[in-house]
Amino acid sequence: MSDYEPDPIELPINGVIDLHTFHPSEAKAVVLAFIEACQEEGLNELRIIHGKGKGVLRTQIHALLERHPDVESYSLAPVNAGGWGATLARLKK
């Protein structure tokens, strides 16, 4: 077994994150870090792509957003932005 750990991947912070690239068990931590990074960049309009599927991940993300003190509001995205496969969130300024 090796002690090698890959360098962390730096992702551009543009207000959009696609959770398909992460394991579902990482979703909560990823979204919390994403919110923090967006705040640091001054972004308050976010789009979280969670996919359509059975809605399990969507439900988890909505519960997280509901409890997050910096989230002003959230809703499913319009059809042209992912429909029920994505959520738009507005952060408090």
Give domain status of residue 62, yes or no: yes
pLDDT at 93: 86
Give domain status of residue 5, yes or no: no
Give domain status of residue 1, yes or no: no
Residue 12: pLDDT band (50, 70, 90) is confident
Rg (CA), the chain: 14
Q: pTM for the complete prediction? A: 0.86
Give domain status of residue 2, yes or no: no
Q: Which residues of 40-57 are buried (b: 16+ CB within 10 A; e: fewer)?
A: eeebbebbbbbbeeeeeb
The CATH number assigned to the domain holding 82 equals 3.30.1370.110
**Residue in 27, 15, 20, 17 with CA at minimum distance from that of residue 61:** 27
Domain count across the chain? 1
Host domain of residue 44:
16-91
Give domain status of residue 10, yes or no: no
Give domain status of residue 11, yes or no: no
